[in-house]
Amino acid sequence: MSSFSDGASKPQIKPTIENLSQAIFIVNRHAKTAPNPKFLYKLKYTALHKLIKEGKARKVGLHFSNNPKFSQQQSDLLIQCGNYTFHLPPSKSDFDELPHLGKLDSAIRNPKATLSLAQAKKILLTYTGLTDIEKNSIHGKPSRKKYNKPVFKKLGESYY
């Protein structure tokens, strides 16, 4: 028997559509405020595309983005998975195949989820087959560049 706990003592959460959609919701919510959200968004993107491929989620249509890049009009792909809806960047074919639903209806909200971020990531990592890049780096933090002190020259000296 090993002396460390890797979470095996807790019951394994089965990857049902409801559990997967809750996990995507939690990961998406945390990614919006995370200091390094790239991996969390990749996890969401990969999980949603796999669910669509398996027929467990469906593309509903396109919405105008609330936060368009460069202040230009932009659309987001609306995806329904269980009781939850998500937005992803659309592909070119989505513009041809799906209806444009206009402005996002702010009255429609996702239900509350009770999973922790660690549980959500574990469910999605198992489902997608991705590996957690945060575990692969030292202490889960991206490596930083070495700090270089500023160089001050005397008045009149050239910096070149």
pLDDT digits (tens, 9 = 90+) for 31-76: 888 888 888 989 999 999 999 899 988 888 888 877 777 667 788 8
Say what the pTM is: 0.70
pLDDT digits (tens, 9 = 90+) for 17-43: 888 889 999 998 898 888 888 889 899
In angstroms, what CA-CA distances link 69 with 49, 66, 73, 77, 113?
A: 23, 10, 8, 15, 29
Q: What is the C-alpha to C-alpha distance for residues 82 and 84, in angstroms, rounded to an integer? A: 5
